[in-house]
Structure 1
Amino acid sequence: MSKSYLMNTYGRFDVTFEKGEGTKLYDKEGNEYLDFVSGVAVNCLGHCNPVIVNTIKEQSSKLMHISNYYWNENAMKLTEILCKNSDFDKVFMCNSGTEAIEAGLKLARKYGSIHGGEEKKEIIYMENSFHGRTMGALSVTGQPKYQESFRPLIGDVKSVKFNDQEDIKIKISKNTAAVIVEPIQGEGGIIPAKKEYLKLLRELCDENGAVLIFDEVQCGMGRTGKLFAYEKFGVVPDIVCIAKALGGGFPIGAMVAKENVAASFVPGDHGNTYGGNPLACAVATSVLGELIDKKIIEVNVNEKSGYLFDKLKKLKEKYHIISDVRGMGLLVGVEIKSDIKKIINTCFENKLLLITAGANVIRFLPPLNVSFEEIDKALSIFEKAL
């Protein structure tokens, strides 16, 4: 089978996977790999979780897609679960994290124009952030390497230094429609926001009539030890964008918002063809059932997080090429003073999958139902690579 027909948009490892089960992946030769990438924080219940597989089988035999000209019970059930387990009132369903970001940006600008006039459309974003690769999301991504080849981007955007209170105080104004921030910068190196900084953003947005947007595409849906990452910081934004783990491997995204902000959208303002389809919503409902009702977030994530951090910090004491261990829950970054690609490739050769986060950070993203034994095995391979 030829690889030549795929566009050259990814730097892939030289392996072709054919099957997955739990934390394990199997290539076409039958070799077993321990997966601590989880589809980049997507496969929160591991590969081919029986609950997800059975939901797909059952729902796909009933109804998969009808468009948003009609109601479907699965979408209504999913949005109710999201709102009842958060501080939000309304949900816009879509298919990916980038789509959720685009919806959030549009809603914030619409809200700004209604309540502050045509001049109120500026969006402030963080340096070192990552929000996606579509033109709107790319325009508020604070990493020039992703932007340079695609200018001009959308206008009326402004960057500020992440976690720098003085910089945001200077740059926010009455013309600011929104401030967008990742509670934990993912692609930028697994860097958590300071609680005091997020509290200040909330205060400044309130003072200036701006919308506060949290991008929880990677850090949300249980990965921090709470369903939504904002719960760990004690700051409630106006909009949260989610995706990845929401579908446990099935494509789905969502933007959740406060009632007063969500009311800015009217029919025709925004939409998509597949968003909220019965199949994706059924899968997401099943995933949330496992995460919330089976207490995977409440018990497993928090227990395994403490265990993983403790083990990694001991490795930091032992190996001086580790300069930092940081993150939250099962979103963990290990900062390395040496060549991280060499370490990741060595792990890959020894059948452990890890990826980078920024230039010098190795990212650990196991499934949220990972076992202690699987953590031990992964760290044993990682230590050998060190």
Structure 2
Amino acid sequence: MKTHAPSLSQRALACEGDTNTSPSRERWTAAISDTATQALLEDDSRYFLHQAMSTPCLDALESAEGIYLTDVAGKRYMDFHGNNVHQLGHGHPEVLAAIQNQLATLPFAPRRFTHQTAVDCAKALTAIAGGELNRVLFAPGGTSVIGMALKLARFITGHYKVVSLWDAFHGASLDAISVGGEACFREGMGPLMAGVERIPPPVSYRGALPSQDGSDLHYADYLEYVIEKEGGIGAFIAEGVRNTDVQVPSRAYWQRVRDICDRHNVMLIIDDIPNGMGRTGHWFTHQAFGIEPDILCIGKGLGGGVVPMAAMLTKDQYNLAAQVSLGHYTHEKSPIGCAAALATIRVMEEQQLLAKVQDDAAYLSGRLRTMKARWPIIGDVRGMGLLWGIELVTDRTTQARAFAAAEQVMYRCLELGLSFKVSQGNVIQLSPPLTILRDDLAQALDWVEQAIAEACEQHYQGLIG
């Protein structure tokens, strides 16, 4: 059998998150002294197929509650990663109670049947989405929803071509990596879905097409240029805010994109799978920009951090594919998934979490900008709601990425009790549960600054003269 040696650099593999095969990871693993943890990690490595960013694993967990993960040795980590499912933290009691109640009555429903929990969930989603997004289709995961959205756009427009953004992540299936913009996921996969045109994302720091005034409107103009030159474009797919390394476009950018899609009869698909359900201080990210997509893809946090659950929302005018199986998933109207989603919405409303997130965002912004002024290794801070990125550089003028420092900061924070991921090799991404208390948020930021200070002093003493 032919085997393939790794051909991607560590930098390429770090596009979506931190790597699990670096020398730093090896040192971390070698330092684990707990025998039960060692045994479990060895068994995991023995029985699971290895892949980037998972097996081999970082640690072995025993429990998860609220903002904390607890490993088998009793060490607790504040979870500022959570794979973006932990909007309500882990094991929220109201979500668990809703799931247990549903399990006792209707644990599963075949596709051909409906039930009250599914209908209630669809109603609730259309209510918080507002506008014209009044049609729903459920699926067991976000990647599946991306596939459904692409199929619906093809059916509605009659065009198979799609425009997407470089560096975007829309899932790891073959159709999702076809429209995704991270080359590391396409490496060695051979021919993928035809008709995908990628354009530069609207990046204000280190952008491919920087403007003198800092505006990102010209990135939208590039979309129109490609639509007009290529022809036959059916859809434009993008995240409202890029989750991995936290890129926040301007309101003006999204307003222009919406106008361009309208004028050219291109369907706008917004992937809000990682950031929906309140992460940005709005139910869904597009609401922060005053626009409405033709198709909205949500997932991850929709299941309350417990049940895999996702949904595609679209407009009544696109309810035209009755003879097409857009999803056809076994768990299409999962009772327990719908129960978890309903409980998640209820908790967010009762605890007024959207307002809390916006208040937390102001605090986070102030803390991070003060940190940036103190430590020149920080080239940029950016974010909204409870999604923030800290970009580390070796030189603010050249914006050279500080790979070693970012990795050091991550592992030092893990030692202190804080878990997050590093994206693009040098961006510290912070995504705490929306329920986090201010004291815990302050403690986490203290740890981040401590780790950044240590890395700065060790690697870049010239920066702190």
TM-score, scaled to structure 2: 0.79
Partner of 1:107: 152
Call closer, same or farther: CA 1:269–1:346 in 2, change over 3 Å: closer
Q: In structure 2, how many angstroms separate the alpha carbons of the residues matched to 1:16 and 1:112? A: 48
Residue identity in the other structure for 2:181 = G
- Please, what is the CA RMSD of the aligned residues? 1.4
> Which one of 369, 372, 375 corresponds to residue 441 of structure 2?
375
Once the 2 structures are TM-superposed, how far is the Cα of residue 194 of structure 1 from its aligned partner?
2.3
> Which one of 9, 12, 16 corresponds to residue 60 of structure 2?
16
Q: In structure 2, how many angstroms separate the alpha carbons of the residues matched to 1:16 and 1:148? A: 29
Residue identity in the other structure for 2:62 = E
CA contact (8 A) 1:40 1:365 kept: no
Structure 1 segments unaligned to the other structure (5+ residues): 114-119
Secondary structure at 1:200's aligned position in 2?
A: helix
Once the 2 structures are TM-superposed, how far is the Cα of residue 165 of structure 1 from its aligned partner?
2.7
Once the 2 structures are TM-superposed, how far is the Cα of residue 67 of structure 1 from its aligned partner?
1.5
| 1:8-47 equivalences in 2 (<5 Å) | 8-12=50-54, 13-37=57-81, 39-47=82-90
1:167 lines up with 2:210 in the alignment: no
| 1:38-187 equivalences in 2 (<5 Å) | 39-86=82-129, 87=131, 88-113=133-158, 120-163=159-202, 164-173=219-228, 174-187=231-244
Partner of 1:246: 302
Q: In structure 1, how many angstroms separate the alpha carbons of the residues matched to 2:160 and 2:58? A: 45
Partner of 1:116: none
Q: In structure 1, how many angstroms separate the alpha carbons of the residues matched to 2:448 and 2:332? A: 39
Residue identity in the other structure for 2:105 = K
| 1:340-379 equivalences in 2 (<5 Å) | 340-379=406-445
Q: In structure 1, how many angstroms separate the alpha carbons of the residues matched to 2:248 and 2:69? A: 30
Once the 2 structures are TM-superposed, how far is the Cα of residue 363 of structure 1 from its aligned partner?
0.6
Partner of 1:327: 383
Partner of 2:3: none
Secondary structure at 1:89's aligned position in 2?
A: strand
Q: In structure 2, how many angstroms separate the alpha carbons of the residues matched to 1:224 and 1:23? A: 18
Q: In structure 2, how many angstroms separate the alpha carbons of the residues matched to 1:265 and 1:145? A: 36
Secondary structure at 2:187's aligned position in 1?
A: helix
Once the 2 structures are TM-superposed, how far is the Cα of residue 14 of structure 1 from its aligned partner?
3.0
Secondary structure at 2:432's aligned position in 1?
A: coil
CA contact (8 A) 2:114 2:333 kept: no
Q: In structure 2, how many angstroms separate the alpha carbons of the residues matched to 1:218 and 1:14? A: 22
CA contact (8 A) 2:144 2:327 kept: no
Q: In structure 2, how many angstroms separate the alpha carbons of the residues matched to 1:274 and 1:8? A: 27
Residue identity in the other structure for 1:74 = T
Call closer, same or farther: CA 1:190–1:322 in 2, change over 3 Å: same
Call closer, same or farther: CA 1:348–1:253 in 2, change over 3 Å: same
1:279 lines up with 2:352 in the alignment: no
Residue identity in the other structure for 2:254 = L
Structure 2 segments unaligned to the other structure (5+ residues): 1-39, 203-218, 394-401, 453-465
Q: In structure 2, how many angstroms separate the alpha carbons of the residues matched to 1:170 and 1:267? A: 32
Residue identity in the other structure for 2:84 = A
| 1:202-221 equivalences in 2 (<5 Å) | 202-221=258-277
CA contact (8 A) 2:62 2:72 kept: yes
Once the 2 structures are TM-superposed, how far is the Cα of residue 43 of structure 1 from its aligned partner?
0.9
Structure 1 moving runs of 4+ over 6 Å: none
Residue identity in the other structure for 2:308 = P
The higher radius of gyration belongs to 2
More deviation, 360-369/158-167: 158-167
Call closer, same or farther: CA 1:198–1:17 in 2, change over 3 Å: same
Secondary structure at 2:325's aligned position in 1?
A: coil
Secondary structure at 1:236's aligned position in 2?
A: coil
CA contact (8 A) 1:109 1:121 kept: yes
CA contact (8 A) 1:111 1:261 kept: yes
1:310 lines up with 2:376 in the alignment: no
TM-score, scaled to structure 1: 0.94
Once the 2 structures are TM-superposed, how far is the Cα of residue 214 of structure 1 from its aligned partner?
0.4
Partner of 2:19: none
Q: In structure 1, how many angstroms separate the alpha carbons of the residues matched to 2:191 and 2:442? A: 48
Once the 2 structures are TM-superposed, how far is the Cα of residue 169 of structure 1 from its aligned partner?
1.8
CA contact (8 A) 1:45 1:367 kept: yes
CA contact (8 A) 2:304 2:343 kept: no
Partner of 1:7: 49
Call closer, same or farther: CA 1:267–1:72 in 2, change over 3 Å: farther
State the identity %. Answer: 29
